[in-house]
Chain A
Amino acid sequence: MVLELLVPLLFLGVCIYAMAGRRDVYSLMVTGAEQGLRTVLSILPSLVVLLALIHMLRTSGAIDRMTAFLTPLCQRLGIPPETVPLVVIRPISGSAGLAVGSEIIAAHGPDSEVGRIAAIMLGSTETTFYTISVYFGAAKIKKTRHTVAAALIADLVGFWMAGITARLLF
């Protein structure tokens, strides 16, 4: 009950706070939504290319082959084999992660166990390699020391915990 009301209450709270500060909430919301539209437009081309590729991979049977190959290893780790494509692509590319994740959730249903695990994985990890290269590139760091290893450990724990929390809470 609390969870269902969380997002509406957040909207209400922000609205009340802004009104108390004598701000025009409506026009602030609209301006923000307009900026959001620009973000949406900027991800459209990459999602088209990536989903074309992923759909082809699924139809050709390539994804089934890959998951069959990795099933024993994944079962030992508690990661469902269906989510392996997501685990592989997520640290590399944000839009590809979203495309692969949406394909998995669509194929298995958003309320299925696999669909939920994929959603939890997407929601609790980031594009690791992109972030590392942007930050260290900007700060002109050549020796990154243990950063990549620690970041990948964080990702792995995230993928592993996604399976556990999905089974525990649903």
Chain B
Amino acid sequence: MSVVLLFFLSFSVFCSLFSGTAPELAGALLEGAGRGVTLTVSLAGPLCLWCGLTHTMEKTGLTEKLAKLLSPILKRLFPKAWQDTAAREALCGNLSANLLGLGSAATPLGIRAACAMAKDCDGIASNELCKLVVMNTASVQLIPSTIAALRAGLGAASPFDILPAVWITSVCSVAAGLLAAKVMAKWC
């Protein structure tokens, strides 16, 4: 990240010298910092509310119910890991947390599943482990609450109207990733 920061800082100083925007640069830097706070504040309310909802779903066992609904899909995607109880439970939890947008709950569960699946493979990723990681690098969130909050904060007429587009795009992206993993598994 530090290299990225250095690169973009020098790039914008360099560009401003050529574009004659140098006098405005310092102001832009400070204004941007202010915008960082405004952005966080506009996200804060909706994000807290959403965390309240997902926390309630977790504590009342709704998340677990969702995990059970998902098991037929996961059984087909991860037949080997499905034999192992610990991996199976972690997989279900990981996917349902991802669907609900519980990033902080999804990662530890996903890591637990990955560790269980990596037990006897000598540091070389198995096909199923690759699939699990690809599935986690593509978003499968049902309600992208942060983006809706961001849009609401910037004055969108209907912050959730992008949902169908997000669903179609997510499904295509995850399917493409899993298909690519399946095809490439034979090559390397």
Contacts and interface: CB of A to CB of B under 8 A. Distances in A.
A143 B111 contact: no
Contacts, number: 334
A40 B129 contact: no
B173 A158 contact: yes
A165 B151 CA distance: 18
B155 A110 contact: yes
Interface residues of B, number: 102
Given A14-B60, A105-B151, A143-B124, A111 B157 contact: yes
Interface of B: 1, 4-5, 8-9, 11-16, 18-19, 21-22, 24-25, 27-33, 35-37, 39-40, 43-44, 47-57, 59-62, 104, 107, 110-111, 114-115, 117-118, 121, 123-125, 129-130, 132-134, 136-139, 141, 143-144, 146-147, 150-151, 154-166, 168-170, 172-174, 176-178, 180-181, 184-185, 187-188
Interface of A: 3-4, 6-7, 10-11, 14-15, 17-18, 21, 23, 25, 28-37, 39-40, 43-44, 47-62, 65, 91-93, 96, 98-99, 101-103, 105-106, 109-111, 115-116, 119-128, 131-132, 134-136, 138-147, 149-151, 153-158, 161-162, 165-166, 168-170
B146 A131 contact: no
A110 B24 CA distance: 26
Per DSSP, chain B at the interface is helix
A62 to B, nearest CB: 4
